[in-house]
Amino acid sequence: MLSQQILNGITLGATYALIALGYTMVYGIIQLINFAHGEIYMVGAFVGVFMITVFQQGLVISLAAAMLACVIMGVTIERFAYRPLRRSTRLAPLISAIGLSIFLQTLMTKIKGPQPIPFPHVMEDALYKLGPIEISKVQIIILVVASLLMAGLHFIVKYVKIGKAMRAASEDYDTSALMGINVNRVISFTFAIGSSLAAAGGVLVGLYFNSVSPFMGVSAGLKAFCAAVLGGIGSIPGAMLGGLFIGVAETLGIAGGFDTYKDAIAFTLLIIVLLFRPTGLLGRPIQKKV
């Protein structure tokens, strides 16, 4: 029973982790809490539904299309709503992000209505028994896709030139700019990667819970953000760990009878962790500079 809950938690956590990666990468480089990220995830889910229902595409093509659409969206948002504010107070781009978030939510409500719509039926669901645990086909898909995407991200960050540039910019923005790294390109690329992962998360969550709504980005975005901070914002493994941690904690909390407190679990954990490790589980401690 416990192992079953943990598996469910890991599945949920994997989707949180996909969203959390976008928060953490963007924060790592430009110290912006991109509060419109949850909306990108929501739009991704809708694009997925749209591809399946209107264009009759399969899951793989729809997933890819959602990711591509969100890459364009993420890069555009950065270019027009954040870049002009890069050298101003830290709160300015944050307010811009909140404005965007309101815009995207109401835009989607205008197009699709405020009610959740069901995710189209793309495949027969099946349950597989693994000893005491049951795993559904959807869960397998989520875990496989999420793992592949995260492995891909790891490869890019570790071995590809632009990924290395990302790491450099996140280490020291000004120095990397002086060293000839085109930071604008790096930042665009970071938004592209983060948005594509969020879109994938959106499609997978739609598939898992069989529901998509214009407001799905609010709570998921907030919890994924929590995951990013819990793991240590700016740290890619931290975001993965934080996502899984919160997914498992939430699932266990619900199974333990705290379902009405579900939305508070992630935040309670977050505050406790911050009080003991002010920069998150895998975050680097801040050295007071005088």
| Cα torsion through 239, 170, 219, 11, rounded to 10 | -20
**Cα three-residue angle 197-202-204, rounded to 5 degrees:** 95
Distance CA 136, CA 142 (A): 10
Distance CA 176, CA 127 (A): 50
- Min CB(6)–another protein separation in Å: 23
Distance CA 264, CA 286 (A): 28
DSSP assignment, residue 127?
E
Distance CA 60, CA 188 (A): 25
Give kind and range of the element (H or E) at residue 6: helix 2-30
- Min CB(204)–another protein separation in Å: 24
- Min CB(277)–another protein separation in Å: 10
Cβ closest to another protein, residue 90 vs residue 137: 90
- Min CB(211)–another protein separation in Å: 19
Cβ closest to another protein, residue 36 vs residue 65: 36
Cβ closest to another protein, residue 92 vs residue 143: 92
Chain contacts with another protein (rule: CB under 8 A): 31, 33, 35, 81, 84-85, 87-96, 98-104, 106-107, 110, 218, 222, 225-226, 229, 233, 260-264, 267-268, 270-271, 274-275, 278-279, 286-288, 290
Cβ closest to another protein, residue 121 vs residue 288: 288
- Length of the chain equals 290
- Min CB(149)–another protein separation in Å: 25
Show the tokens assigned to 153.
Answer: 């991200």
- Min CB(189)–another protein separation in Å: 22
Show the tokens assigned to 43.
Answer: 């739009």
Distances in Å between the alpha carbon of 72 and those of 2, 99, 132, 143, 199? Answer: 41, 19, 44, 25, 11
Cβ closest to another protein, residue 63 vs residue 230: 230
**Cα three-residue angle 230-234-238, rounded to 5 degrees:** 45
Cβ closest to another protein, residue 156 vs residue 218: 218
Show the tokens assigned to 28.
Answer: 């790592």
